[in-house]
Chains A and B, each alone.
Chain A
Amino acid sequence: MAQTRSSTTVRKPDARLTRGARRTSSPYLVYALQRVAQAVAVVLLAYCFTFLVISVLPGDPVTNTLRNPENNFTEEEIARIVAYYGLDQPVHVQLWESLSRFLTGDLGVSLRSNLPVSRLIGEIIGSTLVLAVSALVVAVVLAFGIAYGTRNLPAPLARPLRAFPSLFLSVPNFVIGLLLINIFAFQLGLFQVIDSEGPAATFFAAVALGIPVSAQIAEVLIANLDHEARQEYAGFATSRGLSRSRLFWRHLLKPSSLPVVTVVALTVGELLGGALITETIFGRTGVGSLVQRSVTTQDLPVLQAVVVLAAITFVVVNLVVDLVYPLLDPRVDLRGATKRVRPVTEGASA
């Protein structure tokens, strides 16, 4: 318990200080390795889960194709092909082989085009990544802009600004997308719908995708800024003669932004899902169009790869957040909640 810690005024803080200094070396390394191991495990589990779900779904595309009377395969041929793909094996054997191939980077072959899945994905992933990352940038910039405005603009402007996040959240991103196309492509002619991969088109697609995401970030940021501004330290800083804007930049922004890091990680799902819709509206080739084609043709290896890709994206983003957070927030205690010692105060009674 906390109160047993040695309590000479001088020695006690020393112990804590050295612990603070050690934070970046060994406990952090242990923590990072644990997180990486967890991430790898999650990806593997996601792979197995997708594989099993697909395998229990009715309608095996190989059999569908082979048994199709138009194709005229003999039973013997069917058996040979099924054996070739290993489909006569028990599920766990198939899983094991599929998993071993996955670990060596082999995602299988598309049933529709006979091209390696990794090549199919490689061709389109760049476009989706560009869209998602630009949307994230748009979202973050917009969110911080709104949050800055609510605290630093005069009240008649700041108050309506607070309504923006809920407004953004309540409009679906395909509506925003259609509006943007209508205004900026058809009426103002700022970009060509035909040239859907051009920088201007990409920018507006990113805006359409980023606006709802920015709403979530802005809401958290505004709430946190309000909370931090009410803390005693804000008053103490003001009493030291800091101006409003210095208080914002030097004191309120960092503690308020820390939870935003977590929110950003949570919006990755939204970005991925939204990307598929936005790509369709803006006519971009990307993961969205690939998924659409694969679903209609039951191209299972491609679907499996896309699902695993989504899982990997999630895991990697969350891993980065987990690894970065302790470096940003000095209060995070890496030694785990169970072993945690409450910060001992010389003063607080009992």
Chain B
Amino acid sequence: MAPQDRLNDQRSGRTGGSTATLEIPVVKGPDDLLRVRDLSVSYGGHQVVTDVSFDLPRGHSLALIGESGSGKSTIARSVLRLLPAGVGRATGTIEVQGQDVLALPERHFRPLRGRTVGFVPQDPSASLNPVRTIGSQAREAAALLPGDLTKADRRRAVVDVLLRVGLDDPERVLASYPHQLSGGMLQRVLIGLAVLPQPALLVADEPTSALDVTIQKRILDLLTDLRDSLDISLLLITHDLAIAAERADSVVVLKDGRVQEAGPTAQVSGAPTSDYARRLHADVPALNPDRYAGLRDVGAARRALSEDEEPKIVVRGVSKTFTVDRKQLTAVDDLSFAVPAGTTHAIVGESGSGKTTTIRLLLGLETPDTGEIIVAGERVDGRSHAQLRAVRRHLQFVYQNPFTSLDPTWKVERLVREPLDRFKIGTKDEQREEVRRAVDAVGLDHTLLGRRPDALSGGQRQRVAIARALVLKPDVIVLDEPTSALDVSVQADIVQVLLTLQADLGLTYVFVSHDLALVRQLAHTVSVVRRGKVVEEGTVAQIFDAPREDYTRVLLDSIPDATHGRREVEPSEKAS
């Protein structure tokens, strides 16, 4: 293709000049399906993407990775021309099969939508029209199929593609409304609809971030498989370096809308050269299982010492059944575990495993039907409200989402002080002292005390939440996915804070999570739960190195494994 080559030369000449500050090794291919050059995007005058360039050869996959605010989704939306009308402005060039997407008028770009450029959105539950059946929305995708097909042909094509993405009963799926299907099924529908017209390029924007780990692995496997069997190029947007490392041929690392590093996956994830990529690499739990081993061992040593002592937390034979729709549903079934003082016990499970109910039982917010819960030598279950107050002084809780768990109208000082007020502890001066000590312990600056949550970052908010839990000097803190709403680098900060506090104060943690890689970094003992039952329990080493149960193995297998390179396909030799 002569014109194509000429274009290549022109472009590469221009790139060298415009990004002089940063050497960007661009993956060169014989036939680049997608070429992005000097892409800058601004929203209402505010620049969010600056001079981004990369190439995606046919049949390859490229991951754009970065944290929130890195501009990765904005780039995806620019490629798809889905920037908010009138607000988003993109400059530079985005070429798909040699056509400049940004320069095309909408009526000329529209025929490319779906047929050439497919899109798998992020949130499966919001990406289909809630008041129309999936079948009626699938017909729109089927209308993009080329050729003179009958209605029945198109329908058969839809059914075939749904079977292909692993939906066993397509007819039923087609007759359903989106809210009648689970997240994993909906994500399969989205992928099915996107690949149905066989686009040359598939843009997947965090296609698994809303899903459980085992489902995540299946969806990623599906995308990888479709890419290979249908010869689709994949532009994968993700915040997870481990996923990128496992699934992509090449990686572009973004921060604040600028490319930090780009190149083949093995290079970027194996030996990152830019500071940011290196830091990101260090912060991803799956890539650094032993990062906090030193800090954690302080707790482990304490555990060894306290082997004969009474454990800090004892949960014995606890069951809880709810009545839903006149049906008995057992949320927690004969759950038992014990946590020695000063250690971290992780409860790991997917949605529906009973994690939330376990937390509520531990905190005394629900009463177990059978069994007993003892924290620091005192029974939690079966207590009156007033008696529970006494227990709660040394049993504190940190919520999952710091964006919703702090009253937005209160200042940090008052938020952290509130538990002291509730328990009427100390004089005003003593309270101020305690608040400052708690805020220091989590590494927050005193200047933030006068701010409201809106003026804080996600990491700062979660520190406030931890300080709030700390201020009563509790023995036990229950942590409900405390980092799942945060970026990886912020997550690393919070984990560091938690482990330092544990080492210094001898706190006992119950850490509830679905993220096994994270659990491996910070926990001492683990209970793997499924459908309210403990599947397996043991020390971190036992669970991660020698799992006995199949389910544990499935969970472990769904941790992205960067060392494998591209999974289930031959690695990068294919490119050369």
Determine if B163 is an interface residue (Cβ-Cβ < 8 Å). Answer: no
Determine if A250 is an interface residue (Cβ-Cβ < 8 Å). Answer: yes
Docked pose: A4 CA to B351 CA in angstroms? 9
Contacts of B130 in A (CB 8 A): 233, 255, 330-331
| CB-based nearest B residue for A339 | B325
Give the interface centre of B118, B127, B331 by most chain A CB atoms within 10 Å. Answer: B127
Once A3-B357, A239-B82, A250-B140 are accepted as A-B contacts, the answer to whether A345 and B113 lie under 8 Å apart by CB is: no
Docked pose: A254 CA to B324 CA in angstroms? 32
Whether A345 and B82, one on each chain, are in contact in the complex, defined by CB atoms closer than 8 angstroms, is no
CB interface residues, B 457-510, toward A, < 8 Å: 480-481, 484
Whether B330 and A4, one on each chain, are in contact in the complex, defined by CB atoms closer than 8 angstroms, is yes
Contacts of A13 in B (CB 8 A): 172, 176, 180-182, 185
Interface string of A1-22 (1 = CB under 8 A from B): 1111111011011101100100
Whether B119 and A239, one on each chain, are in contact in the complex, defined by CB atoms closer than 8 angstroms, is yes
Contacts of B144 in A (CB 8 A): 240-241
Whether B183 and A232, one on each chain, are in contact in the complex, defined by CB atoms closer than 8 angstroms, is no
Whether B121 and A236, one on each chain, are in contact in the complex, defined by CB atoms closer than 8 angstroms, is yes
Q: Out of B128, B182, B331, B514, which one reaches A346, CB within 8 Å?
A: B182
CB interface residues, B 352-392, toward A, < 8 Å: 352-357
Determine if A190 is an interface residue (Cβ-Cβ < 8 Å). Answer: no
Determine if A296 is an interface residue (Cβ-Cβ < 8 Å). Answer: no
Whether A3 and B182, one on each chain, are in contact in the complex, defined by CB atoms closer than 8 angstroms, is no
CB interface residues, A 319-347, toward B, < 8 Å: 328-331, 335, 339, 341, 343-347
Interface string of A284-307 (1 = CB under 8 A from B): 000000000000000000000000
Once A236-B190, A240-B113, A348-B210 are accepted as A-B contacts, the answer to whether A1 and B131 lie under 8 Å apart by CB is: no
Contacts of B355 in A (CB 8 A): 3, 350
CB interface residues, A 184-200, toward B, < 8 Å: none
Determine if A162 is an interface residue (Cβ-Cβ < 8 Å). Answer: no
CB interface residues, A 217-268, toward B, < 8 Å: 230-233, 235-243, 250-251, 254-255, 258
Interface string of B124-149 (1 = CB under 8 A from A): 11111111100001001100100000
CB interface residues, A 267-290, toward B, < 8 Å: none
Whether A1 and B329, one on each chain, are in contact in the complex, defined by CB atoms closer than 8 angstroms, is yes
Contacts of B182 in A (CB 8 A): 9, 12-13, 344-347
Whether B351 and A349, one on each chain, are in contact in the complex, defined by CB atoms closer than 8 angstroms, is yes
Contacts of B330 in A (CB 8 A): 4
Interface string of B170-195 (1 = CB under 8 A from A): 00100111011111110100100110
Q: How many residues of A are counted as interface, with CB atoms below 8 angstroms from the partner's CB atoms? A: 49
Once A251-B132, A254-B131, A331-B179 are accepted as A-B contacts, the answer to whether A240 and B481 lie under 8 Å apart by CB is: no
Q: Out of B119, B215, B531, which one reaches A236, CB within 8 Å?
A: B119
Contacts of A4 in B (CB 8 A): 322, 324, 329-331, 352, 354, 357, 531-532
Once A235-B82, A350-B481 are accepted as A-B contacts, the answer to whether A345 and B357 lie under 8 Å apart by CB is: no
Q: How many residues of B are counted as interface, with CB atoms below 8 angstroms from the partner's CB atoms? A: 74
Q: Out of A16, A258, A330, A346, which one reaches B351, CB within 8 Å?
A: A346
Q: Out of A7, A238, A330, which one reaches B177, CB within 8 Å?
A: A330
Determine if B111 is an interface residue (Cβ-Cβ < 8 Å). Answer: yes
Whether B131 and A255, one on each chain, are in contact in the complex, defined by CB atoms closer than 8 angstroms, is yes
A37 CB, min distance to chain B CBs, angstroms: 22
Once A3-B356, A240-B144 are accepted as A-B contacts, the answer to whether A232 and B179 lie under 8 Å apart by CB is: no
Whether A20 and B125, one on each chain, are in contact in the complex, defined by CB atoms closer than 8 angstroms, is no
B130 CB, min distance to chain A CBs, angstroms: 6
Whether A241 and B356, one on each chain, are in contact in the complex, defined by CB atoms closer than 8 angstroms, is no
Once A3-B355, A345-B182 are accepted as A-B contacts, the answer to whether A233 and B329 lie under 8 Å apart by CB is: no
Q: Out of A240, A329, A339, which one reaches B140, CB within 8 Å?
A: A240
Q: Out of A12, A343, A349, which one reaches B484, CB within 8 Å?
A: A349
Whether A237 and B140, one on each chain, are in contact in the complex, defined by CB atoms closer than 8 angstroms, is yes
Docked pose: A343 CA to B132 CA in angstroms? 17
Once A17-B172, A239-B117, A241-B115 are accepted as A-B contacts, the answer to whether A347 and B215 lie under 8 Å apart by CB is: yes
Docked pose: A330 CA to B176 CA in angstroms? 10
Contacts of A230 in B (CB 8 A): 84
Whether B129 and A237, one on each chain, are in contact in the complex, defined by CB atoms closer than 8 angstroms, is yes
Give the interface centre of A5, A6, A329 by most chain B CB atoms within 10 Å. Answer: A5
Whether B185 and A346, one on each chain, are in contact in the complex, defined by CB atoms closer than 8 angstroms, is yes
Whether A9 and B184, one on each chain, are in contact in the complex, defined by CB atoms closer than 8 angstroms, is yes
Whether A233 and B124, one on each chain, are in contact in the complex, defined by CB atoms closer than 8 angstroms, is no
Interface string of B155-179 (1 = CB under 8 A from A): 0000000000000110010011101
| CB-based nearest A residue for B193 | A240
Whether B180 and A20, one on each chain, are in contact in the complex, defined by CB atoms closer than 8 angstroms, is yes
Docked pose: A236 CA to B211 CA in angstroms? 19
Contacts of A10 in B (CB 8 A): 168-169
Q: Out of A9, A243, A254, A350, which one reaches B356, CB within 8 Å?
A: A350
Interface string of A76-109 (1 = CB under 8 A from B): 0000000000000000000000000000000000
Whether B126 and A231, one on each chain, are in contact in the complex, defined by CB atoms closer than 8 angstroms, is yes
Q: Out of B113, B176, B325, which one reaches A17, CB within 8 Å?
A: B176
Determine if B527 is an interface residue (Cβ-Cβ < 8 Å). Answer: no
Whether A233 and B129, one on each chain, are in contact in the complex, defined by CB atoms closer than 8 angstroms, is yes
Docked pose: A254 CA to B325 CA in angstroms? 30
A342 CB, min distance to chain B CBs, angstroms: 10
| CB-based nearest A residue for B138 | A240
Interface string of A136-172 (1 = CB under 8 A from B): 0000000000000000000100000000000000000
Contacts of B400 in A (CB 8 A): 350
**29 contacts across the A-B interface (CB closer than 8 A):** A3-B331, A3-B351, A3-B532, A10-B168, A13-B172, A16-B181, A17-B175, A232-B122, A233-B127, A235-B82, A236-B121, A237-B129, A241-B110, A241-B115, A251-B132, A328-B131, A339-B324, A341-B325, A343-B125, A343-B179, A344-B351, A345-B210, A345-B351, A347-B210, A347-B212, A348-B211, A349-B514, A350-B355, A350-B480
Could you list which residues of chain A lie within 8 angstroms of chain B, going by C-beta atoms?
A: 1-7, 9-10, 12-14, 16-17, 20, 155, 230-233, 235-243, 250-251, 254-255, 258, 328-331, 335, 339, 341, 343-350
Sample of 15 more A-B contacts, CB < 8 Å, known A237-B137, A239-B80, A346-B183: A1-B329, A3-B331, A3-B357, A4-B532, A239-B121, A250-B140, A330-B130, A335-B325, A339-B324, A343-B125, A343-B180, A347-B183, A347-B351, A349-B481, A349-B484
Please provide the 5 A-B residue pairs with the shortest distance between their CB atoms, ordered closest to farther.
Answer: A347-B183, A347-B211, A346-B182, A346-B184, A239-B119
